[in-house]
Amino acid sequence: MTTYKGINGFAVQSVATDPSPLDEGQVWYNNASYAFKLASVTTTGTWASGGNMNTARNYLAGCGTQTATLAFGGYTGTLLTSTEKYDGTAWTNNPTGLNTGRYGLGGAGTQTAALAFGGGYPDVTSSESFNGSTWTNTPSINTSRRYLAGFGTQTAAIAAGGGQGAPGTATNATEAWNGSSWTSVTGFNTTRRNLAAAGIQTAGLIFGGFPAPTKTATESYNGSTWTTVNSLNTGRDYLAGCGTQTLALAFGGNLRPGRSTATELWNGTSWSSNPTGLTTARYALGGAGTQTSAIAFAGDTPPYTAATEEFTGPGAPVTQTITTS
């Protein structure tokens, strides 16, 4: 008689807690809940509520992963320096905040090695690095602006686009950070502000933004030149994004009028709309993580929200209970 052990080379494990991380097709018996369980792959991405931030705000920046997120800056009627860390369950206030309070800033890196740059108001050029506990001023970006996008690492980042001065003005200015200085490089094709980004310095992606003709525009960056690629399905600005140049996620945003819950996935060629959007429609939010394991936090206009949502993307292993019905 064919057995599970004969097919897979091992018997079904009996455990008190479900294993993590999961492998597709993995089967186990949870002896605490008296149930056989299976790790299967999701076909549709879903959002679930996470722990609320300590300070509700908008126009903030974020970086890191779903279980190790950093959020910094923003606006609550005043410019914020406050920095918070997320561990996958709850947010904790970092004892020290940014040296320069600002909103609409760019961010890159990880929870323990981050970079903050630009923002306002008024528009600033200041740049700061974070070592997991404190922020240190670094050489400034060349063009002061807010509502810009950032992607990359603490030592190899890109600052893209943004606005200067009066509402509605925008730039395609792009700057590269090498760990010690910012250098102006080739600007992208469609000038805009309020955009989102994903990727690393030599393989990046920007999408969405304002004014209206750019709200669906997407461009990829190879470290030296920008290429216009297929557009978002839902045009919006003040959205958030994360992931890589070939596996990106776009979520939330301003529809003008209206707040968006829209979530879209980029496969390196085109965007597809996820059937399930954010639970809380919002714009001017923060985002971090990967296409299959993302986090959305804060945003909106008064009243500001502290809500956090976690995204499990299609193709991610999830636990299912095996039943006989």
What's the farthest any 2 CA atoms get from each other in the chain? Answer: 76
DSSP, residue by residue, 79-107: B---EEEE-SS-EEE-SS--SS--BS-EE
Same domain, residue pair 274 and 251: yes
On whether residue 84 sits in a domain, the answer given is: yes
Same domain, residue pair 194 and 253: yes
Cβ-based neighbours of 41, under 8 Å, separated by 6 or more: 24, 314, 315, 316, 317, 318
Q: Tell me, what's the pLDDT at 3?
A: 53
pLDDT for residue 166 is more than 80: no
Count the domains in the chain. Answer: 2
Same domain, residue pair 33 and 170: no
Average confidence (pLDDT) over 143-158: 97
pLDDT for residue 104 is more than 70: yes
Q: Quick: pLDDT tens for 173-183.
A: 999 999 999 99
Same domain, residue pair 20 and 67: no
Same domain, residue pair 98 and 143: yes
Q: Quick: pLDDT tens for 217-245.
A: 999 999 999 999 999 999 999 999 999 99
On whether residue 263 sits in a domain, the answer given is: yes
First-to-last CA distance in the chain?
A: 24
Q: Tell me, what's the pLDDT at 256?
A: 92
Looking at residue 80, which CATH number applies to its domain?
2.120.10.80
Range of the domain at 259: 46-312
On whether residue 322 sits in a domain, the answer given is: no
Same domain, residue pair 300 and 264: yes
Cα angle 229, 192, 62 (rounded to 5 degrees) comes to 90
Side-chain-facing half-sphere of 318: CA atoms under 13 Å:
15
Same domain, residue pair 122 and 236: yes
Q: Quick: pLDDT tens for 253-311.
A: 999 999 999 999 999 999 999 999 999 999 999 999 999 999 999 999 889 999 999 99
Q: Quick: pLDDT tens for 36-81.
A: 888 777 678 999 999 999 999 999 999 999 999 999 999 999 999 9
The span from the CA of 23 to the CA of 12, in Å, is 14
Same domain, residue pair 37 and 53: no
Same domain, residue pair 34 and 135: no
Same domain, residue pair 71 and 31: no
pLDDT for residue 161 is more than 50: yes
